[in-house]
């Protein structure tokens, strides 16, 4: 397991309280009010629980033995296979975590290991007859704290424990496991998209003309303020980078819309049988009986030239040729 074992104990955030003077007659706050956070300290869970599982040991041949294994069976060393409550072959078994034992089997600890636990015992995660957990996120090394992590996984106070009794009369929990499912995936996607958009603009930073082509594709946006095509190259780059970072989804949407418009123009030219892709590397368009060379020396052939134009839409030659192409296509009647 990578990343350790993480649980959330109690509320995710400390409770809030408003501090103010109170009107003795109405009970309502009066005067200035201040927000305070209520410290939540630690939580205690009983260090003994009944869960579902079965005892086992490995025989001399390395075979796992699970039938009729009691806490005092010869060969048994305190190992428990934890199971979903009610699974055939399992049974209710008492467990307890003790730093001085490598077993969670309560009866094995008491009768075979004969561990005497002082009432005021304090040890790793243990205080007296309780397990001590700090409020908020608790993180444990899954290898160094392997036995304790196993105990937390199956304990009935774990919301997600499959080994606890599911009886509705026995409900409630003190903590739950924090996994990747609890991470805000949409937030990650927004950040990644923002990084992608910013990186895309940054990669064009040494090509002012291509930055301007991208700026034109974005159109007039209120986010650009007074920056326009007459502004300095660095200013145009700056506002475009800011826009890509802050409005990455819209940034890519506008690019997608532009490319869709170009593709629509090619499809229209095809429908009028005006598009000429017969010469590799050259795109021509016939309008009103006159053939126009749109672009040449493309590093593609046939229909692949259309896709090449779409992939390199921001490059100077392609951008200018595209504007000419769209204007000519608009004249097809």
Model confidence over 68-96: pLDDT tens digits?
Answer: 999 999 999 999 999 999 999 999 999 99
pLDDT of residue 121: 78
- Residue 127 parent element (H or E): strand 126-127
Instruction: Report which secondary-structure segment, H or E, holds 9.
Output: strand 5-9
Quick check: is 38 in a domain? no
Do residue 173 and residue 312 come from a single domain?
no
How many distinct structural domains can be found in the chain? 2
Assess whether 192 and 325 both reside in one domain: yes
Please identify, among 121, 150, 181, the residue that sits at the C-terminal boundary of a domain.
181
Q: What is the pLDDT along the chain (333 residues), one digit of tens a residue?
A: 456 899 999 865 555 555 556 665 565 666 666 655 455 578 999 999 999 999 999 999 999 999 999 999 999 999 999 999 999 999 999 999 999 999 999 999 999 999 988 877 787 889 888 999 999 989 999 899 999 999 999 999 999 999 999 987 778 899 999 887 767 778 888 899 999 999 999 999 999 999 999 999 999 999 999 999 999 999 999 999 999 999 999 999 999 999 999 999 999 999 999 999 999 999 999 998 899 999 999 989 999 999 999 999 999 999 999 999 999 999 998
Residues 79 and 207 in one domain: no
The pLDDT, as a whole number, for residue 20 is: 56
Last residue of a domain, one of 142, 160, 181: 181
The parent domain of residue 154 ranges over: 44-181
Please report which residue ranges of 205-329 form alpha helices under DSSP H: 208-218, 233-246, 248-271, 304-311, 316-329
Confirm whether 3 is domain-assigned: no
Degrees, nearest 5: CA angle 151-152-153: 90
Q: What is this structure's pTM?
A: 0.58
Residue 26 inside a domain? The answer is: no
Kindly state the DSSP code that residue 333 receives in the 8-state scheme: -
Cα 245 to the center of its chain, rounded Å? 19
> What's the DSSP call for residue 72?
T
Q: Is position 152 within any domain?
A: yes
For residue 194, being part of any structural domain is answered with: yes
If asked whether residues 144 and 202 sit together in one domain, one would say: no
What distances in angstroms separate CA 156 from CA 48, 51, 162, 172, 307, one per listed residue?
10, 7, 9, 9, 59
250-254-258 Cα angle (round to 5): 170
Q: Of 181, 207, 235, at which residue does a domain stop?
A: 181
DSSP state of 156: T
């Amino acid at each position: 397991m990578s990343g350790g074992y993480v649980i959330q104990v109690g509320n995710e955030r400390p409770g809030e309280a408003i501090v103010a003077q109170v009107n003795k007659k109405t009970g309502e706050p009066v005067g200035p009010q201040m927000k305070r956070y209520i410290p939540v300290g630690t939580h205690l869970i009983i260090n003994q629980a009944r869960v579902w599982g079965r005892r086992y040991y490995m025989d001399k041949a390395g075979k796992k033995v699970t039938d009729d294994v009691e806490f005092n069976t010869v060969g048994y060393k305190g190992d428990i296979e934890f199971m979903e409550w009610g699974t055939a072959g399992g049974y209710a078994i008492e467990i307890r975590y003790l730093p001085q034992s490598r077993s969670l089997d309560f009866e094995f600890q008491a009768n075979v290991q004969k561990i005497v636990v002082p009432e005021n015992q304090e040890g790793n995660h243990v205080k007296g007859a309780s397990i001590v957990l700090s409020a908020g996120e608790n993180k444990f090394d899954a290898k160094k704290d392997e036995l304790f992590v196993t105990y937390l996984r199956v304990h009935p106070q774990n919301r997600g424990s499959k080994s606890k009794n599911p009886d509705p009369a026995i409900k409630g929990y003190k903590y739950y496991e924090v996994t990747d499912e609890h991470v805000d995936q949409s937030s990650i996607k927004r950040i990644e998209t923002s990084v992608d958009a910013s990186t895309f603009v940054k990669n064009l930073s040494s090509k002012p003309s291509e930055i301007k082509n991208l700026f034109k594709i974005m159109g007039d946006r209120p986010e650009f303020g007074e920056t326009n095509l007459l502004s300095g190259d660095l200013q145009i780059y700056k506002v475009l980078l800011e826009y890509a970072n802050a409005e990455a989804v819209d940034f890519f949407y506008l690019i997608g819309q532009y490319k869709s418009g170009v593709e629509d123009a090619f499809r229209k030219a095809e429908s009028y049988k005006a598009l000429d892709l017969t010469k590799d590397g050259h795109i021509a368009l016939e309008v009103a009986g006159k053939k126009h060379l749109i672009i040449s020396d493309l590093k593609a052939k046939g229909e692949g030239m259309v896709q090449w134009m779409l992939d390199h839409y921001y490059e100077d030659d392609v951008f200018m040729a595209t504007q000419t192409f769209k204007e000519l296509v608009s004249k097809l009647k």
